[in-house]
């Protein structure tokens, strides 16, 4: 481990020093990389850093935290168009071009979900994908829960930035049709356009708006069903955290992430199909056996996604990719 930021830069709040610190960190990183190393870069690393490493013959492996920007822009432009507001996702043609250029300097990319893999088709990295996942702190797991809720209302949980990208508008449209007295709990900030359009519903006693919290685990432990209807995603950590607490999960294919590849692990739904989404939520509200089946399935699966296990799988993938037996890098 190397301390990249000296003196006060290391202790000040990062937003105060981000511009200076980012340049300093990159210089420190580039100076420390040696022949035989692999440079593991996240999207915020500059294009120049990619160029320098490539020119030095250092293999570069990227992290695909979300889907390819060119794909994400199409998805989100369509979503905001259908919602009836101007897109605020911030993905520009300039940013897309820069990402594509970075792909050209890379040897491989970790794709944490099938959605990321699919979005990379046609890119310079299409045939240099390392399937991966994210993970969870298994020590935070809940004990096996009791799914018999008796006559009490159920709590359906969404956790994250409640925005168009996360498909929250589809969830709220479905919730309008949900039978009472069940409650939807939103943990996280709410996009202004969502807050404005659904003001009356959000202010009703059918929804609990919690806002931003530093520790989400108590909310997972107290909920009965987790819903992740994301339209564009990499591999959402909240899905793993819901699984860690034995929650039955209703998710889009994006929101399901890598864990959703396991057959029967979750209820996978097209979030724009509000009628089907409503039916699944309504059924889970009344079907204790189904909630228990789904919740216990992901509770057991989550133990295979602890961070040490995830890291070990990635290390094995890198060793296989860059082993001496390979005649050349891809």
Interval 163-208: pLDDT, tens: 999 999 999 999 999 988 999 999 999 999 999 999 999 999 999 9
Crossing angle for the helix pair 47-55 and 93-105, to the nearest 10 degrees:
20
What are the residue boundaries of the structural domains of the chain, listed by start?
A: 36-135+308-321, 139-304
Strands 108-111 and 60-63: parallel
Please state, in angstroms and rounded to a whole number, the distance separating the CA atoms of residues 49 and 108. Answer: 16
CA distances from 322 to 32, 38, 249 (A): 20, 9, 37
Closest CA to 89 of 99, 100, 81, 97: 81
- In which band, very low, low, confident or very high, does the pLDDT at 129 lie, cut at 50, 70 and 90? very high
CATH code of the domain occupying 139-304: 3.40.50.2000
Mean model confidence pLDDT for the chain = 94
pLDDT at 264: 95
Beta 207-211 vs 155-159: how paired, if at all? unpaired
Question: Which residues have C-beta within 8 Å of that of residue 2, sequence separation ≥ 6?
Answer: 28, 32
Cα 271 versus chain centre, distance: 16
pLDDT digits (tens, 9 = 90+) for 291-314: 999 999 999 999 999 999 999 999
Q: What is the pLDDT of residues 17-52, one digit of tens each?
A: 888 888 888 999 999 999 999 999 999 999 999 999
Q: 36-135+308-321 is classed in which CATH architecture?
A: 3-Layer(aba) Sandwich (3.40)
Give the pLDDT confidence of 257-276 residue by residue, as tens digits.
999 999 999 999 999 999 99
One DSSP character per residue, 129-153 reads: EEE----B-GGGPPPPPP---TTSP
């Amino acid at each position: 481990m190397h301390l990249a930021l000296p003196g006060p830069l290391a202790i000040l709040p990062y937003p105060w020093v981000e511009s200076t610190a980012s340049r300093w960190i990159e210089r420190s990183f580039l100076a420390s990389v040696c022949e035989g190393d692999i440079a593991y870069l996240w999207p915020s690393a500059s294009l120049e850093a990619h160029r320098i490493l490539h020119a030095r013959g250092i293999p570069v492996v990227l992290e695909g935290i979300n889907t390819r920007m060119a794909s994400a822009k199409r998805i989100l432009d369509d979503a905001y168009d259908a919602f009836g507001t101007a897109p605020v996702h911030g993905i520009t043609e300039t940013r897309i071009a820069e990402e594509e250029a970075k792909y050209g300097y890379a040897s491989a990319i970790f794709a944490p979900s099938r959605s990321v893999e699919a979005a990379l088709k046609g890119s310079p990295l299409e045939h240099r994908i390392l399937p991966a996942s994210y993970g969870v702190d298994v020590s935070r797991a809940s004990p096996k829960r009791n799914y018999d809720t008796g006559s009490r209302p159920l709590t359906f949980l969404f956790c994250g930035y409640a925005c168009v990208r996360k498909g929250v508008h589809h969830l709220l449209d479905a919730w309008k049709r949900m039978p009472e007295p069940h409650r939807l709990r939103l943990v996280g900030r709410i996009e202004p356009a969502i807050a404005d359009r659904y003001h009356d519903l959000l202010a009703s006693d059918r929804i609990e708006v919690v806002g931003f919290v530093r520790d989400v685990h108590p909310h997972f432990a107290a909920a009965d069903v987790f819903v992740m209807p994301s339209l564009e995603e990499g591999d959402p950590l909240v899905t793993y955290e819901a699984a860690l607490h034995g929650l039955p999960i209703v998710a889009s294919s994006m929101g399901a992430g890598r864990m959703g590849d396991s057959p029967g692990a979750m209820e996978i739904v097209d979030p724009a199909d509000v009628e089907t989404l409503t039916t699944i939520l309504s059924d889970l509200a009344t079907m204790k056996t189904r909630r228990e089946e789904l919740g216990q399935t992901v509770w057991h699966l989550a133990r295979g996604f602890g961070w040490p296990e995830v890291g070990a799988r990635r290390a094995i993938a890198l060793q296989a990719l860059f082993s001496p037996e390979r005649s050349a890098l891809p």
